[in-house]
Amino acid sequence: MNHGRLLRFYRERLDTGLSSGGYLKTVLLIVLYLLLGLGLYALGAGNLSYGQALKPFPPFSWFPLSDRVTRYLLVCFAYASLFHLSWAALNRENLEQWINRYTLRGVLYLLGTTVTYFLLALFILALTCSGISKRPFPDIAIFNSVLVACFVLGGWAWGAVDFLKYLFGFARSVGQR
């Protein structure tokens, strides 16, 4: 992978995104995320206790998490990941702009970074939620805190989309040989 071309591509994308109102689209998507997340709470996301199943697994077993916080863990993280996955999938990015040829090394590199980002996001989420569980907040405040933390940590999904796009390009290039 040519990292210089990749950095140049993202720098140009940032420059054109900020000058053409791309920041407004980002702000609107963040507001949409928060509104849909509050709708998720109103629909009874707090009544689902799927997050309790995460407590025996690391890194959630390493930190003291209250039952009130774990109610929202899985629902919020899954919602944030799906939101980021759909946002990244709708972002029309052509891989041929920054990739000359697809290699197995590139597939393994992107797989490794995606798995690393995912595990790091889970660790940070457990650490954040242990801090939230020590505070006497009402349920809606706990839900909002977990929802915002999950929005930031859902960014691992962008790496997953890059990996999937690269993997499909690699499979297509292998089929053309």
How far is residue 40's CA from residue 52's CA, in Å, rounded to a whole number? Answer: 18
- pLDDT for 77 equals 84
* Pair 133, 64: CB distance under 8 Å: yes
Higher-pLDDT residue of 45, 154: 154
> For the residues 46-68, what does the mean pLDDT come to?
75
The reply to whether the predicted model has a pTM over 0.95 is no
Most confident listed range (10-14, 61-65, 109-113, 170-174): 109-113
Banded model confidence at residue 11, pLDDT cuts 50, 70, 90: low
- pLDDT for 116 equals 93
Q: Which residues contact 166 (CB under 8 A, 6 or more apart)?
A: 95, 99, 102, 106, 107, 110
- pLDDT for 13 equals 56
How far is residue 96's CA from residue 1's CA, in Å, rounded to a whole number? Answer: 12
- pLDDT for 18 equals 45
Does the pLDDT of residue 49 top 70, yes or no? no
- pLDDT for 12 equals 60
Q: Which residues contact 57 (CB under 8 A, 6 or more apart)?
A: none
Does the pLDDT of residue 100 top 80, yes or no? no
- pLDDT for 19 equals 46
How far is residue 176's CA from residue 126's CA, in Å, rounded to a whole number? Answer: 44
